Amino acid sequence: MNINEKMEKITSLCKRRGFIFQSSEIYGGMNGCWDYGPVGTELKKNIKNLWWKDIVQMHDNVVGMDASIIMHPRIWEASGHVANFKDDMIDCKKCKKRYRADHVQTETCPECGGEFTPPRPFNLMFKTYVGALEDAASAAYLRPETAQAIFAQYLTVLNCSRQRIPFGIAQIGKSFRNEITPRNFTFRSREFEQMELEFFVAPGTDEKWNEYWIDRRINWYKNIGIHSERLRIREHEKDELAHYAKSCVDVEYEFPFGWQELEGIANRSDFDLSQHQQYSGKKMLYKDDLEKKEFVPWVIETSAGVDRILLTLLADAYEEEQLEKNTRVVLRFSHKIAPIKTAVFPLFKKPALKELAKKINDDLKKVTTTFYDEIGSVGKRYRRQDEIGTPYCVTVDYESLEDNAVTVRFRDSMKQERISLGSLVSFILDKLAQ
């Protein structure tokens, strides 16, 4: 299967099974913007919950916040986004197609062979206006990252949460970048969701904490079921480093279109807090009463995109299995990340079977995510759940009315096992915990 073919199949499956849709499709779509359907919404929720548990719940010294999308424009001057958050843009003089300069490897347009215009800088921030007038005084921006709100509120959160250095602030939220050429499905979008941690440390301890978070983050990807052989850590060369970074590594995944960044982990030094201290006039010093000293903390940042992780999970789990008579498409999600854990079917649409199946579904959905389906042959219903990645299907048949047992079908092996109704919930929970 070639690169384009696999991505086309994943894109088609996403629409067919309710993972991802083109935004505003009835109006011709909106380039670089995507809507998540019922199954995609559940998958996003699982990603965010597992990230939050690992970053916040499992660390006594990490707390959360949820900042506004529109902030004071001086924040983006202090951070360097107004001056530096730019890509070089080129246009083909012949076909008028636009490209990001660093995404083109040829001297002429790859579409038509036309000559390019000279590169010109393009700021990636979306500009808007706050209030009734559209003038320079009311100009503002949609945030291009969630990190700067954390830096601006660092002292407030530090004091109200009764933390001490080292400590971190985590945030999940939407960000916006006016990408010149969105591409590769949801990989590069204009509206996306970030999961970021800013971890504040004492100068001199930064390298130790940087290594800690690199190890922690790569292991998280493995723990949610992504194949380790398709993951790698790539250290940035000096000429790649952002102006604020002492060092940076990317967690990369081998997508169908090549190795690409999943998450950046950067030692941001004290750049951000020092900049906000200078531009706001407010001291960002941390006072260490035990050591009797004060300093501007250094920051270790982990920055991941929910949408890229979701695309990674789809690409990693997608498999076409050749059976005796046909080909089965299956998403082999890890149990912990699967959007639907269990599907419940009555074998036929008979009142007694439907009644029992709905009761089983009601019992299971108290403890896990379920999907009830009574439409079509049971074989087709199994195939639908395979394409969603549901680990277990429970089928109620006529024997169930007599022996108080149901058939549990396993996604990966397609084997079936008869389980008593009294032990079904514990059986499913035990399997999901493995």
* 348 and 272 in a common domain: no
* 219 and 156 in a common domain: yes
* 393 and 246 in a common domain: no
Write out the residue range of the structural domain in which residue 380 sits: 340-433
Q: Which residue blocks in 122-193 are alpha helix, DSSP H? A: 147-152, 154-160
* Confidence bin at 228 (pLDDT 50/70/90): very high
* pLDDT of residue 121 exceeding 90: no
Residue 152 within any structural domain of the chain: yes
* 365 and 263 in a common domain: no
* 175 and 55 in a common domain: yes
Contact between residue 309 and residue 255 where contact means Cβ atoms under 8 Å apart: no
Interval 141-161 mean pLDDT: 94
Query: Residue 141: which H helix or E strand, with range?
Result: strand 139-141
Task: Determine the Cα–Cα distance for residues 307 and 319; give it in Å rounded to an integer.
Answer: 20
Helix 306-317 to helix 3-17 angle (10° resolution) is 110
Low-confidence winner among 98-102, 223-227, 323-327, 378-382 (lowest mean pLDDT): 98-102
Report CA 160 to chain centroid distance, whole Å. 29
Residue 181 within any structural domain of the chain: yes
Within 13 A of 163's CA, how many CA atoms are on the CB side?
22
* pLDDT of residue 203 exceeding 80: yes
Residue 324 within any structural domain of the chain: no
- Give the type of residue at 216: R
Contact between residue 197 and residue 212 where contact means Cβ atoms under 8 Å apart: no
Higher pLDDT, 223 or 244: 223
Q: Work out how many domains the chain is built from and give that number.
A: 2
Token pair for 229: 């052989």
Please state, for a pLDDT cut of 90, what percent of the chain lies above it.
Answer: 75
CB atoms within 10 A of CB 412: 11
* pLDDT of residue 283 exceeding 70: yes
Residue 160 within any structural domain of the chain: yes
Residue 330 within any structural domain of the chain: no
Interval 254-271 mean pLDDT: 93
Higher pLDDT, 195 or 29: 195
Token pair for 239: 């000429």
Higher pLDDT, 386 or 434: 386
* 196 and 140 in a common domain: yes
* Confidence bin at 163 (pLDDT 50/70/90): very high
* Confidence bin at 94 (pLDDT 50/70/90): confident
Token pair for 210: 């940087």
* pLDDT of residue 80 exceeding 90: no
* Confidence bin at 3 (pLDDT 50/70/90): low
Residue 344 within any structural domain of the chain: yes
Residue 390 within any structural domain of the chain: yes
Contact between residue 298 and residue 247 where contact means Cβ atoms under 8 Å apart: no
Written as one string, the DSSP assignment of 228-274 is: GGGEEEEEPPGGGS-TT-SEEEEEEEEETTEEEEEEEEEE-TTHHHH
Phi and psi (nearest 5°) for 244? Answer: -95, -10
Nearest of 434, 224, 185, 416 to residue 333 by alpha carbon:
224
* Confidence bin at 202 (pLDDT 50/70/90): very high
Please state, for a pLDDT cut of 70, what percent of the chain lies above it.
Answer: 99
* Sheet with 370-372, edge to edge strand ranges: 370-372, 342-346, 392-396, 405-410, 416-420
Query: Residue 120: which H helix or E strand, with range?
Result: strand 120-123
3-state secondary structure (DSSP) of residue 38: helix
CATH classification at residue 429: 3.40.50.800
* 252 and 294 in a common domain: yes
Q: Which of 315, 349, 382 is the last residue of a domain?
A: 315
Residue 105 within any structural domain of the chain: no
Q: Distance of CA 24 to CAs 27, 32, 35, 43, 400, Å?
A: 6, 11, 8, 21, 46
Task: Determine the Cα–Cα distance for residues 39 and 392; give it in Å rounded to an integer.
Answer: 16
* 32 and 140 in a common domain: yes
Highest-scoring range by mean pLDDT, 92-96, 123-127, 129-133, 333-337: 333-337
Q: What is the mean pLDDT of the chain?
A: 92
